[in-house]
Chain A
């Protein structure tokens, strides 16, 4: 699944996936593997990137990760694709889970009428031969599931519509 970090006003799209015991990082024009992170406690750790280990100091503050590596510091602001999309597309009484990229529905995990919370897995999609979990952007009730298993969709397509939960 595509994720986005904003660093110094520039947005970086990336994709993280499993790669044996570690991970693979896809930046827009590069694939870096393996990547891994080992914690050393109290905001210290080691990032392993393409076989090279670098000591890291870090601090997490909400959606921002402050990272110090090799004398340089960067603040990475995570831009949650679901929240961003939900914010920009939300109607007054509805929230939608949109497709962060074109793909195919592998499995739906909820049914219409079901109450969900922020982060509840709604469906698993496949895109670029990678699976991504689509999570609920907010608390609510599943109103409509727009695509069945095996159906394909385009980027930004509404996958699931939620209704605000009535109290």
Chain B
């Protein structure tokens, strides 16, 4: 028996994260219910859940953002708790309030936590007021009339950022202060279009920093613990591609300082639930970037090195339980790398791809974990983001993990839709990556990794393709016996 105050949890999400949450619910003896748009009706997550409630909207994404429909679905499923996953409504304070007001436990932080950290300007000011390091910046709302002048005075390079953002939308690096005003206008328009909030701030851009983030857990009893750091420096257009834990080559002293800072920020915010404090590390110094008040896509690498089930911890904290661990219980072991398998073609500028899963074979073996919501026959559309699955690999050392992850990516077979599997394999075999010489601009600096080898020998593929294509084989077979015997040449 689970002895929790609820026995059914509604998952307000889809795909791989929904599947991953269901696995923990089963482990804890809880029932799972899931909402789904019709486009997802035949997906793995829906088939695995104990109950599935259809939701609708003008677009599939709109359905998953429809708060009244989701609350109604939770009631219909008699769900006592709701897990938002990541993305969609996971960092929406209004949603967290609506869930709580409906008498349902929100598996996540308080609406106040979300409001404080969800607004980047507010979060930044809060962190700075508490004496933690932030990147120098100019904030528009401090004084709109002097905003551009104050930003320009910081000197280039600059980074224009929206106050509310995600996935790198609306962010712009400005190397020439002469074009700052144009960049601000463009960023404002993008931020308004994507997030309905055009407020901006301008940060001093740290060239080629490393992205280091710390996983924290806080409960209602004042306990806050960190589960060490992750490195997410391999990015393209501000989106993470490969993540790992721990970060490579950090001194134990710097690691301790970063983790202590994250705990300090979470404690200052009176943070309850799982959260991630992100930092930029450059020139030996680290600065607060933002805090994510949800489960992160890359949480499995932390689970692999610590053995802690973060979703189970989220559930226990939401149920009013104290943390299931003390800081001294968190002992990292080995190294973990996660590769994000996406429906996209890095060789064609990361163009999104579509198709149907005709063959799906994941690599297996000790230390390999697959978080996936895919099943054979499933259509891959452009209705959602391109993330298909995560391949997470654990081994004693970073180099062994990278080699094992590289083999795993080469062994993975997904036919029917172009993916970035080969690109991920190329990163994992790249010398610079293997030596830990990585930073957030690494992929831009090494465009050949995305481009692949345009002169690759395709003869084996063409031979297989020709022999598997009826008209090609038939036209060859149609050649007379005599010609065949003569090697088809007439003399």
Asked whether any CB of chain B lies closer than 8 Å to the CB of A56, the reply is yes
Verify A71–B463 contact, CB threshold 8 A. no
Is B490 on the interface with A (CB-CB < 8 A)?
Answer: yes
With known contacts A32-B459, A57-B361, A66-B359, A25–B422 Cβ distance under 8 A:
no
Residues of B within 8 A of A37 (CB): 463-464, 467-468
Q: Are B488 and A17 in contact (CB under 8 A)?
A: yes
Residue picked from A9, A20, A56, A80, most chain B C-beta under 10 Å:
A56
Would you give the 0/1 interface string for B408-428, flagging 1 where the beta carbon is closer than 8 Å to chain A? 011101111011011001000
Pair A75/B418 contact, Cβ less than 8 Å: yes
B489 touches A59 (CB 8 A): no
What's the nearest-Cβ distance from chain B to residue A57, in Å? 5
Which single member of B413, B463, B464, B483 contacts A32 (CB below 8 Å)? B463
Q: How far is the CB of B142 from chain A (nearest CB, A)?
A: 50
Report how far A61 CA is from B416 CA in the complex, Å.
8
Q: Output the least CB separation between A75 and chain B (Å).
A: 6
Q: Is the CB of A71 within 8 A of B411?
A: yes
A49 B468 Cβ-Cβ under 8 A = no
A8 and B348 alpha carbons, distance in the complex (Å): 9
Docked CA distance A76–B472 (Å)? 13
Q: Do A14 and B462 touch (CB < 8 A)?
A: yes
A7 CA / B468 CA spacing, docked (Å):
15
* Contacting residues of chain A (96-152) with chain B, CB-CB under 8 angstroms: 121, 124, 126, 129-133, 135
Q: Are A58 and B464 in contact (CB under 8 A)?
A: yes
Partner of B488, one of A12, A14, A67, A130: A130
* B347 interface contact, C-beta 8 A: yes
Note all chain A residues with C-beta closer than 8 A to B446: none
With A68-B415, A71-B410, A131-B483 already in contact, the answer to whether A16 and B473 are too (CB < 8 A) is: yes
State whether the Cβ of A86 lies closer than 8 Å to any Cβ in chain B. no
Answer whether residue B365 sits at the interface, using C-beta atoms and an 8 A cutoff. no
Which residues of A lie under 8 Å from residue B410 when comparing CB positions? 70-71
Given known pairs A12-B458, A69-B464, the reply for A3 and B488 (CB within 8 Å) is: no
Whether B461 is near chain A, meaning CB under 8 Å from some CB there, is yes
Q: Mark B338-351, 1 if CB is under 8 A from A, else 0.
A: 00000001011000
Contacts A57-B359, A73-B413 known; A16 to B459 CB distance under 8 Å? no
Which residues of B does A touch, CB under 8 Å? 345, 347-348, 356, 358-359, 361, 409-411, 413-416, 418-419, 421-422, 425, 456, 458-469, 471-480, 483-485, 487-490
7 interchain residue pairs of minimum CB distance: A71-B410, A18-B484, A59-B358, A76-B465, A37-B467, A66-B415, A16-B476
15 example contacts (A-B, Cβ-Cβ < 8 A) are as follows: A3-B472, A14-B462, A17-B476, A17-B479, A25-B459, A49-B460, A49-B463, A58-B468, A67-B461, A71-B410, A71-B422, A72-B422, A74-B458, A126-B490, A131-B478
